[in-house]
Structure 1
Amino acid sequence: MGKTKNSSRAPFPVGIGKVLKRLHYPLDVILLCVRWYVAYSLSLRNLEEMMAERGIEVDHSSVHRWMIKLVPLFEKAFRRIKRPAGKSWRMDETYVKVKGQWKYLYRAVDKQGNTIDFLLRVHRDKAAARRYFDEAIAQNVEPETITVDKSGANLAALEALNAERKKPIQIRQNKYLNNVIEQDHRAIKRVIKPMMGFKSFQCARIILSCIEMMHMIRKGQMQHVGDTRTAAEQFYSLVM
């Protein structure tokens, strides 16, 4: 895995190929570092040391740059093949530190635990919740039921949404039924913890999207019937 060019690979998708030309590292090194960073509880310094043990000189700032450049392309490819989730949603928000301040990651799963969608917002209010619901519904199968906790902002956003719909969504406020989303938050927070917060909102949004994507791959949300590939192989297939 040295700094060599890979001439025998199949052509890359146009957008990804252009980005890779500017990164000056072999694809296998780049993908390994990106996947490890979003799949496991590691800091960028951890990755730098781990690669050095394998005889590969990779600066932690390079890994961060790879994330920012490539992740939006990964996410775009993943969303085209993401398996549809169910129509019974459990929605909640969790906290993420950005520039020393808490921001809000809105998330939802269906009753089987499949991720519906996610959205990082600066504020935790009716407008933020409404933006989340609008984007999640636009990109997924329309829900029949959405369960939220006792948050007044989430309820107000759903009621405003229903006021504009011919067929209203059934709203449930039940903390017990939302245990599945609260448990799912933990998988995301476990990966975020060693990162010690994000330097900017844009950086947080991009990296969180890849963490969420890897989490969905592990839950089988990219698999086709009969697909026996590992989560790592599925991740790499997004660009190969």
Structure 2
Amino acid sequence: MNPEVAKVLKRLHYPLEVMLTCVRWYVAYPLSLRHLEEMMAERGISVDHSTVYRWVIKLLPLFEKAFRQHRRPVGNSWRMDETSILVKSQWKYLYRTVDKDDKTIDFLLRAHRDTPAARRFFEKAIAGCGAPKTATVDKSGANLAALQAINAHRETAIEIRQNKYLNNLVEQDHRAIKRRVRLMQGFQNFRCARIILGGIETMHMIRKGQMLTHKGSSPSAAEQFYSLIA
């Protein structure tokens, strides 16, 4: 097992299968922590919902980090948009981008919806996946200004398109994330929101077939998820 994973698991005193099952179910399905507590109880396993939450916060960063090392390449035509997320009774903004085939490129939760936030998101996505040939955004002046600022420091400029119709793809993709978040009724703090959203996005990408697997194999989404910390 990955030493980093083993170090975290050493402090979590429950069977590994139970912890991984709860963590995967939490990010994969519209279930609350109390739902998971009840579901485990039906299986003869006594675990408090707050304990499940600690597993989620401890383990999800490991899954996200591992996935980024095993994901398939993405396209160079991007669609970018942001969606609102409730954190401690305040609206924050989840920046997301997908390619023309609906493959998730990157995501980032920011406190504000402005040019610095958009620029930070694009810089993160470019650092992880390389620069796109084209980037489509909505009519937001902040997103346009962010891309223009990035282009000012590039030899080859990214082609910028502002087209709401072409951006429908990423707007539709938000729904899978929002559907899972809705039952949570908002996050209690920004750090935990980032961690949980990262886990939800990771599971979403696995379901979309974005994880590299061995040639000739066809593991289920659950098997792919668990393999990340093997």
User: Which bin holds the TM-score, normalised by the shorter protein?
Assistant: over 0.9
Secondary structure class of the residue paired with 1:198 = coil
CA contact (8 A) 1:85 1:140 kept: yes
Stretches of structure 1 that go unaligned for 5 or more consecutive residues are 1-11
SS of alignment partner, residue 81 of structure 1: coil
1:175 match: 164
Is 1:85–1:141's contact at 8 Å kept on the other side of the alignment? no
Match of 1:47 among 21, 36, 40: 36
Q: 1:116 aligns with which of 98, 105, 115?
A: 105
- Report SS of the residue matched to 2:167: helix
Runs of 4+ in structure 1 displaced over 2 angstroms? 223-227
The match for 2:94 is: 105
Partner of 1:231: 221
User: What is the one-letter code of the residue matched to 2:182?
Assistant: K
| Distance in 2 between residues matched to 1:161 and 1:141, nearest whole Å | 13
**1:190 CA drift (Å):** 0.4
Are 2:124 and 1:135 aligned?
yes
Instruction: Indicate the percent of aligned positions where both proteins have the same amino acid.
Output: 69
State the AA in 2 paired with 1:90. Answer: R
- TM-superposed CA distance for 1:223, in Å, is 3.2
Q: 1:188 is aligned with what amino acid?
A: I
2:11 is aligned to 22
Partner of 1:96: 85
Contact 1:86 1:141 in 2 (8 A): no
Deviation at 1:100, TM superposition (A): 0.5
Provide the TM-score with structure 1 as the length reference: 0.94
Q: Partner of 1:176: helix, strand, or coil?
A: coil
What CA distance in whole angstroms lies between the structure 2 residues aligned with 1:227 and 1:109?
26
1:71 is matched by which residue type in structure 2? L
In 2, the alpha carbon distance for the partners of 1:97 and 1:15 equals 31
Aligned counterparts of 1:18 and 1:41: Cα–Cα separation in 2 = 29
Between stretches 86-95 and 62-71, larger displacement belongs to: 62-71
Q: Distance in 1 between matches of 2:216 and 2:191?
A: 37
- 1:53 and 1:70 map into 2 onto residues whose CA distance is 24
Aligned residues, how many? 229
Q: Secondary structure at the match of 2:106?
A: strand
Amino acid at match of 2:218: T
Residue range with higher mean Cα deviation, 67-76 or 99-108: 67-76
CA RMSD of aligned residues (A): 0.8
Letter in structure 1 aligned against 2:34: R
Q: 1:200 aligns with which of 163, 183, 189?
A: 189
Residue 38 (structure 1) aligned with residue 35 (structure 2): no
